[in-house]
Amino acid sequence: MFLRTVQLARGAGVKNWLFVVKPHGFPRVYRSNSSYHAFVEMDKVTALRYEPLPEDSPYVKPFRMYYTQNGVEKNWDLLKVHDSVAIIIFNKTTQNLLLVKQFRPAVYHGVISSAEGTNPTTIDLEKYPPQLGITVELCAGIVDKTKPLIEIAKEEILEEVGYDVPVDRIETVLTYRSGVGATGAQQTLYYCEVTDADKVNAGGGIDGEIIDVVELNLPDAWKLLKQGSVVSSPPSCLLGILWFLTNKAPKS
Ligand SMILES: O=c1ccn([C@@H]2O[C@H](COP(=O)(O)OP(=O)(O)O[C@H]3O[C@H](CO)[C@@H](O)[C@H](O)[C@H]3O)[C@@H](O)[C@H]2O)c(=O)[nH]1
């Protein structure tokens, strides 16, 4: 079940590094063209604790909505979060989908709270290793600036995956509301084909983000749909892969 990283350098001075990660039943090859990236360990998570949400959180605003429906007074507890974009990326050179892997605090918390109840006072990192919070998902980003959504999608492709593509190569796929119980946030899904010639940096995120680029071949993409929960992929990722396999994947 746990992710293990083995680094396989392809010789000094060679730009590409290959490293193999083997979560249970889901071996994968990751590529990065930066040695920095190959040595960052996203599961080195320590000093973990919970505190109440500060009122000035730039990411999450909780509140209660009161309303009357069909004559009955009701209320609903809500979280305002940013809308987002997500991009299905297919590398035509390698014929692989490009996904991203990262530590997700909310997923880690979900795993612990399912087992121990909400917000236990101490968190046993031996019993619950941080690898449990690592996901494989689409390249994605929050809409926290006033820019066309497609421009934000372009920026995320560059920052997280390292490919520089013009917006006219990014196709709008679907818009939907995720988190209908608590957030009602909108996500816009895009599709983009890249080639190795579009690669300009290693990706990996900005501002301290630790993100690995994952190349997923098409047989493994089918497998991921069947075993999604094994690697904690969110519904947007599973939907994106399904859309790709249905609408775009090479027929052979
Ligand atoms: O409480 C928080 C929340 C966010 N951040 C920062 O904000 C960044 C946001 O990253 P970005 O890449 O813009 O968005 P994602 O975290 O990838 O999340 C997007 O992609 C997910 C997968 O599709 C969706 O579930 C989310 O709703 C959507 O916002 C994070 O990396 C952090 O640097 C924090 O520091 N603290």
Distance from the alpha carbon of residue 87 to the mean position of ligand 1, in angstroms: 14
**Cβ-contact 104, 110 below 8 angstroms:** no
13 φ/ψ sector (left φ>0, alpha ψ -120 to 50, else beta): left
Distance CA 21, CA 135 (A): 13
Average pLDDT, the chain: 84
Q: Which segments within the chain are labelled E, that is strand?
A: 5-9, 17-21, 28-32, 60-69, 72-81, 84-91, 96-103, 134-137, 139-142, 170-177, 186-194, 212-217
Distance CA 80, CA 215 (A): 33
Distance from the alpha carbon of residue 142 to the mean position of ligand 1, in angstroms: 6
For residue 1, name the pLDDT band (cuts at 50, 70, 90).
Answer: very low
Domain 83-248 grouped into CATH 3.40.50.720: no
pLDDT surpasses 90 at 231? no
pTM: 0.85
User: Mutation test of ligand 1: which of 50, 84, 102 has the most ligand atoms closer than 8 Å to its C-beta?
Assistant: 84
Residues with CB under 6 A from ligand 1: 59, 82, 84, 86, 137-138, 140-142, 207, 209, 234, 236
Report how far apart the first and last C-alpha atoms of the chain are (Å, whole number). 31
- For ligand 1, atom 3, the nearest C-alpha belongs to 59
- For ligand 1, atom 1, the nearest C-alpha belongs to 59
| pLDDT, position 180 | 93
Distance from the alpha carbon of residue 66 to the mean position of ligand 1, in angstroms: 29
Looking from the CA of residue 86, the nearest atom of ligand 1 is: 23
Tens digits of residue pLDDT in 183-211: 999 999 999 999 999 999 999 999 999 99
Which span out of 28-37, 114-123, 229-238 was modeled with the highest average pLDDT?
A: 229-238
- For ligand 1, atom 13, the nearest C-alpha belongs to 141
